[in-house]
Amino acid sequence: MRNVSWAAVLVSVSMWSLVGCGDDDGATPLDAGIDASRDAAMGDAAVPPMDAPIGVDAPVGVDAPIGVDAPVAVDSSAPVDAGSDAGLVCATGLVICGTACVDPLIDTMNCGVCGTACAATEVCDTGICTAACGAGLTSCSGACVDTATDPANCGSCGMACATGGTCLGSACGCPGGQLDCGGTCVDTTADPMHCGSCAMACAATEVCSAGACAAACTGGTMSCGGACIDTMTDSANCGSCGMACAATEVCMGGTCMASTCAGGLTSCGGTCVDTSSDPAHCGDCATACAAGEVCLRGACTTMCPTGTTNCSGACVDTSTDEAHCGMCTTVCAATESCNLGVCVGCRAGLTRCGDRCTNTAVDASNCGMCGNVCDRGHPCVAGVCAP
């Protein structure tokens, strides 16, 4: 009788395991019965199902747990979007193809548009794949270039001019007043690493002012990285160091304005220049005089007329020129004009405001009158703060 009772108990336990636990862990009824019988025989309670450890992948064919995203398939054959490099900025005339700036007019791998490659026997001439370059052009690695003016192939293929240099008549040269220092065109009148000449570097505590190392800037200029800059007109440092104007703006009176220059000046790269005398923009923005030449009445020449002096490629009258007063290296302060070669009070068209002279027609800090400050971001136009 006692033996029968124990058998009944075992059967009851087995049946309970089949009903209560068979669906929880996916085991078959047979497995569940065996497990329950084993647990009862060992005196242990049935062990509840255990979740898989975190970080262990589910076997193939098993759905991912709720809340876990399935991996996204990546199409490795998809082309890279041209211009995908968000931080890349190309110079004028170049376009972004992939992660590089290219000239579609001459690039044989991107001729006309990105991705259009010319055949091995073709060249890229003005954006068209063709068998040979047009008249006056030379094939340099498949690119049709004018070796008379191309700074990367000046005179012949592979003959590169200094960084920032120009190619005129198949000869390399730097823009007016600059010198080739180790393959880079620099302004030795302001560059503290090449002050006055390529080999002259100013001390760490000095600045380069008018081609000479000095303790401080003079003539109304400000030290920007050791270079004495006129922040009233410099489009890269307009009003203060590092304040660059947009490509469509110029710096006038220390304020970036729409590229409309006054007084017969022309906007070239964001700076108002006198193309009648500027050797870097002689006659027009794109024409630079060669080394040793000056710009006279908009034409490059080798000699200045009587009564003028060659100052870094510009023929100037040192008796009246505030930037070259009395001599090429003397710059009058912003509060002065040049009279008979001597720096004196405010020059014509300027008004004294405090300790300096300014143009109240464009000065946002003294708009129309001294002390009238325009709101931030609002320029001063014709003596009135723009809305």
Give the model's confidence band at 218: pLDDT under 50 very low, under 70 low, under 90 confident, else very high: confident
310 DSSP 8-state letter: E
End of a domain among 229, 248, 267? 229
Q: Measuring CA to CA, which residue among 76, 288, 257 is closest to residue 169?
A: 288
- CA dihedral in degrees (196, 197, 202, 207; nearest 10)? 30
Q: What six digits make up the tokens of 31?
A: 């497995």
The answer to whether 162 touches 172, Cβ cutoff 8 Å, is yes
Using CA atoms, how far apart are residues 92 and 268, in angstroms rounded to an integer?
13
Residue 158: the pLDDT is 92
pTM of the full structure: 0.40
Per-residue pLDDT tens for 283-319? 888 888 877 788 888 888 878 878 888 887 778 888 8
- Is 80 contained in some domain? no
Long-range contacts (CB closer than 8 Å, 24 or more residues apart) made by 107-114: 107/143, 108/141, 108/142, 108/143, 114/82
Residue 27: predicted pLDDT:
45
Q: Which residue, of 190, 206, 229, is where some domain finishes?
A: 229
Q: Are 32 and 17 in contact (CB under 8 A)?
A: yes
Residue 357 pLDDT: 66
Is 334 inside a domain boundary? no
- Average pLDDT (220-231) is 90
Structural domain ending residue among the three candidates 186, 213, 229: 229
Distances in Å between the Cα of 349 and the Cα atoms of 146, 360, 362 are: 45, 9, 12
Mean pLDDT over 154-183 rounds to 83
Sequence-separated (6 or more) residues with CB below 8 Å from residue 303: 294
Residue 353 to residue 357: CA distance in whole angstroms: 6
pLDDT at 205: 92
Cα–Cα distances (Å) from 290 to 155, 159, 207, in that order, read 15, 17, 28
Whole-angstrom Cα distance, residue 252 to residue 235? 9
Tell me what pLDDT residue 241 has. Answer: 92
Note whether residue 367 is domain-resident.
yes
- Residue 185: predicted pLDDT: 87
Burial of 235 (0-12, 13-18, 19+ CB in 10 A): buried
Give 30-47 pLDDT, tens digit per residue. Answer: 444 444 444 444 444 444
Domain that holds residue 206: 176-229
Domains contained in the chain, number: 2
pLDDT of residue 356: 61
Residue 217 resides in a domain: yes
